[in-house]
């Protein structure tokens, strides 16, 4: 048995799995928006260097869409947690389980 277990309802999840879930959550929440913005800046920079007006306008639109997608990815977890809290009744331990795994408490 593992030394540290994370409580999740009536089940204890091993600490290594909780660490993995927490790390993946953080990577998705932070790295994906940063990569979207970085790739958008690179594409826009290439269009500016090529000095073609049509390419610049097209890449500006793509960059704005990537910024919106990055914001959505960043906030999707908070929105999902809010919705689950609204649907979840007080007798359920669903959100406490999710918080324990995400925050690795």
- The answer as to whether 99 is a domain residue is yes
The predicted model scores a pTM of 0.65
- The answer as to whether 2 is a domain residue is no
Show pLDDT as tens, one digit a residue, over the chain (105 residues).
445 676 676 777 777 887 888 888 888 888 888 888 898 889 888 888 888 888 888 888 888 888 888 888 888 877 877 777 777 665 566 667 777 777 765
Overall number of domains in the chain: 1
Residue 84 contacts residue 95 (beta carbons within 8 Å) = yes
Domain that holds residue 51: 14-103
Rounded to whole angstroms, the Cα distance separating 71 from 37 reads 10
Instruction: Look at residues 31, 41, 22, 25 and name the one whose alpha carbon lies nearest to residue 70.
Output: 31
Instruction: Look at residues 46, 47, 43, 64 and name the one whose alpha carbon lies nearest to residue 56.
Output: 47
pLDDT tens for each residue of 63-93: 888 888 888 888 887 787 777 777 766 556 6
């Amino acid at each position: 048995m593992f030394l540290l277990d994370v409580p999740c309802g009536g089940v204890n999840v091993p600490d290594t799995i909780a660490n993995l879930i927490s790390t993946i959550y953080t990577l998705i929440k932070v790295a994906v928006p940063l990569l979207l913005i970085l790739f958008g800046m690179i594409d826009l920079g290439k269009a500016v260097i090529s000095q073609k007006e049509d390419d610049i306008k097209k890449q500006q639109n793509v960059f704005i869409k990537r910024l919106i997608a990055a914001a959505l990815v960043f906030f999707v977890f908070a929105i999902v947690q809010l919705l689950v809290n609204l649907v979840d009744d007080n007798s359920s331990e669903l959100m406490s389980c999710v918080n324990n795994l995400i925050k690795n408490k």
